[in-house]
Amino acid sequence: MKHFIAIPALALLGISACKKAPSGNNAPSISFVSMKPNTVISGSSKDTVFIQFNVSDKDGDLGNDAGSGNYDIYIKDSRDNAPAQGLPFPTIPADISENKEGISGVCTIRMYASLFLIARSDPQHKNEDTLTYEIYVKDKAQHESNRIKTPNIYIQVP
């Protein structure tokens, strides 16, 4: 059984622009919007990468309960074989999530260089490192969205 650890205070997530979407398919859908910047200094407390993507769920059941052990967003670092990191959505008001007419919005994940963007220490990466993130979403029924992949993130070693 896979275990996922959430670090919501470190990789923050925000949802904005919630609105009704047409009902239909049960699985959520996501699409890449942007990522800025694409270069950071390894472990820098001053550098943060902001990843934005659109999310929609036609049956409106986004937002897993914090105590359920299920997360909403999963993000996987391309540099290792570790399982995807689970992250929660912020609280979605009941009048939005329970309308069953759908939800859509824009999510922003903050990846802090000081915690997540650290170059590997092997000789091949002594000057720089590169990674991508694979991201997907699960709704309350555990339907999994499509997966998106970020552009390359370049990590410079000071």
Quick one: average pLDDT of 118-124? 95
Give the C-alpha separation, 2 to 154, whole Å: 29
Higher-confidence residue of 34 and 4: namely: 34
Dihedral class, residue 90 (left if φ above 0, else alpha if ψ from -120 to 50, else beta):
beta
Q: Which pLDDT belongs to residue 6?
A: 33
E-state strands within 67-124: 73-77, 85-87, 103-112
* pLDDT confidence band for 2 (50 / 70 / 90): very low
For residue 99 the two structure tokens come to 């309308």
Q: Which pLDDT belongs to residue 93?
A: 80
At 71-119, the pLDDT tens digits run 999 999 999 999 999 999 888 887 777 666 788 899 999 999 999 999 9
Mean pLDDT of the chain, nearest integer: 84
Q: Which pLDDT belongs to residue 9?
A: 27
Sheet strand arrangement including 29-36: 13-19, 103-112, 48-57, 29-36
Q: Which pLDDT belongs to residue 75?
A: 97
At 20-44, the pLDDT tens digits run 445 455 899 999 999 999 999 999 9
Q: What is the CATH number of domain 13-156?
A: 2.60.40.10
Q: Which pLDDT belongs to residue 38?
A: 98
Q: Which pLDDT belongs to residue 99?
A: 66
User: In whole angstroms, how far apart are CA 31 and each of 41, 44, 130?
Assistant: 27, 29, 22
